Structure 1
Amino acid sequence: MSIPRESSDYLVRIISRSGTVRALACVTTGLVADACHRHGTFPTASAALGRALTGGALFGALLKTGQRIALAFEGNGPLRKILVEADANGAVRGCVGNPEVVLVRDDGKLDVGRALGHAGLLTVTKDLGLKEPYRGTVTLYTSEIAEDLAYYLTESEQIPSAVGLGVFVEADGSVGVAGGFLVQALPPHDEAVIEQLMSRIETMPAVSEQLRGGATPEKMLEYLFAGIPYDTLEKRALAFVCSCSRERLERVLLSLGKDELAAMIADRGEAEVTCELCGERYHFSREELQRLHDEPQPSAG
């Protein structure tokens, strides 16, 4: 999956010169707006999906080339679930179970935690190119997305981490800004540096507030690492990119079996298959369904 050249979203990755802390920060406004437009999300669903997509972009940047990661948030709230997939190249895609969710807290802010639900699970699946993918699951911590991702990294992967995510939804429902950061302590842990970073994180303005004020990923990292020498490792483009294709959807139809395809031809004479993660629709005519039906089945031996 390649990133469009015109993408304005990007991520910056740094490491402290002592080698004890690494951090990433990104702006994801364009890809979040793209995703929300594709799925027709209402404001609270937009905020939830945007945070999860941004988290996916940050997690994907920790992978090696060719590796992929999937995040599945499943809760007992009206949103039901959030699914996100990302790779090491900066491609991100995702969806929500119910896009038509608007919940607002007493302070006027969008209530992502209640929308997802405070009872549920976060499952992280990594395709590292091995025979079996790695899978880790934790209970939802606050359902605010950022804290859940930090909790997963600290509990499941034993890497003390802090995650900040922000999405600002305008009064007309459009996505104004989106972005986030991820900070991780690496062994041997430098407690003085960790305390300094935690103090900066606690006092820094909200991510969405910084982005609305014109902050860049570089500026967010400069603020966090004030007084801590660091080196920039890379800057990479990010975009909403899906791996679906007509050929992949044909394989999905083939997996239904000849009997199901025959019933589909007899009943409707055509089919429309929608990719859950990007909303792209693929139409298959009677002739195309018949061709799939008539394809020889692979031998069992």
Structure 2
Amino acid sequence: MAYLVRGLPVDKNFRVYAVCCKEIVEEARRLQGLSPVASAALGRALAGVALLSADLKIGKVLLQIKGDGPLGEILAEGDYQGFLRGTVQNPHVYIDPINRKLPVGLAVGKKGFISVVKDLGLKEPYYGSVELISGEIAEDLAYYLTVSEQIPSAVSLGVLVDRDGTILAAGGFLVQKLPEATESELEEIEAKLKNFPPVTSLLSSGKTPEEILQMIFPNLQILEKRPLAWRCTCSEKRVEEVLIAMGRGELEGFLKEGKPVSVTCEFCKKTYHISLERVKELLKEVMDVS
């Protein structure tokens, strides 16, 4: 089962989160036909956005990674209910493992940006962005949180892909320093994390998110355990809204072609077919407004 835990160490001034999301990454792989390295990259992004959305009471978070590697743009979205979805611009990129590890940094690229958009139901969403430093995603996300949101953070993300491409393990954890944390507390945790096992090794050996956090903070109080699931929010209504936003010229062009309009969701790959009669109705709506 995919879920997230949020905790608070009793004797340390940190807030901590951990997630396991194998089933969600497997669903993304199945729907989009992801290559192993694309699965690893998108899986890290999905685990990352789950951690970013852990404290949401409303709204959603969008994580965008745009490097100069062959995968292109990676998008991952998580909301306050624990629903996740994500996509990769070039899902079929194949790169041979290096030292038995999928080269996510090479596939993402080291030049580019990692951006976070938080839609909290306010007038304007919050937007933050920093340059990529490695393309490995976890390191980039930690850098973003430390620099853009001014919260010293440690992030570990990982995806274990089987030889047949299926997902064996996926998840991660986030440790954030609270203002009350002392320098000695920070040094102690940094030393622990420096030699900490890869999160995929822990998950594939049967460790739960709670147990992983307790390895770092033995006196841990679990504040919340939240189920996670893949869910795409696409709909025919949203497709029609996109067509309306394209404007009169585009809609008239569709009518001249004389064929129903087909639109495929980049997240779940569901295809919507909009009839010519409906396109005429949408065009009328556009003309009535203008």
TM-score where L is the length of structure 1: 0.91
Q: Percent identity?
A: 46
Aligned equivalent of 2:169? 177
Measure, in 2, the Cα distance between the counterparts of 1:113 and 1:224.
26
How far the C-alpha of 1:268 sits from its partner, in A, is: 4.1
Kept in 2, the 8 Å contact 1:84–1:93? The answer is: yes
RMSD: 1.6
- What runs of 5+ residues in structure 2 fail to find an aligned partner? none
Match of 2:27 in 1: 34
2:228 maps to 238
Matches for 1:203-218 after TM superposition, within 5 Å? 203-218=195-210
Describe how 1:105-184 pairs up with structure 2 within 5 A.
Answer: 105-184=97-176
For 1:3, the equivalent position in structure 2 comes to: none
Length, aligned pairs only: 290
* CA apart distance, 1:202: 2.0
Aligned residue number for residue 15 of structure 2? 22
- Scaled by the length of structure 2, the TM-score of the pair is 0.95
Q: Which amino acid aligns with 1:285?
A: S
Q: How has the CA–CA distance of structure 1 residues 177 and 298 changed in structure 2, closer, same or farther, with 3 Å as cutoff?
A: farther
Residue 104 to residue 194, structure 1, CA distance change in 2 (3 Å): farther
Inter-partner Cα distance in structure 1 for 2:273 and 2:182: 57
Q: Could you tell me whether the CA contact under 8 Å between 1:103 and 1:112 is conserved in 2?
A: no
**Gaps (5+ residues) in structure 1?**
1-7
Give the secondary structure class of the aligned counterpart of 2:121.
coil
1:173-230 alpha-carbon deviations (Å, 9 max, x no partner): 111110110000101122233222222222222111111111111111111113xx23
Matches within 5 A, 1:222-237: 222-226=214-218, 229-237=219-227
Identify which of 193, 201, 214 aligns with 2:193. 201
Which secondary structure state, in structure 2, belongs to the residue aligned with residue 49 of structure 1? helix
1:225 is aligned with what amino acid?
A: F
Residue identity opposite 2:62 in structure 1? A
Q: Residues 298 and 18 (structure 1 numbering): CA distance in 2 closer, same or farther, change over 3 Å?
A: farther
Q: Report if the CA contact (8 A) 2:110-2:132 is conserved.
A: yes
Corresponding residue to 1:256 among 217, 230, 246? 246
| AA at the equivalent of 2:136 | E
Deviation at 1:239, TM superposition (A): 1.1
Q: What amino acid sits opposite 1:294 in the alignment?
A: K
Contact map agreement 2:248 2:286 (CA 8 A) in 1: no
Partner of 1:53: 46
Query: Following superposition of structure 1 onto structure 2, how do residues 284-295 of structure 1 map, counting pairs within 5 Å?
Result: 284-295=274-285
Pairwise CA distance, 1:18: 4.4
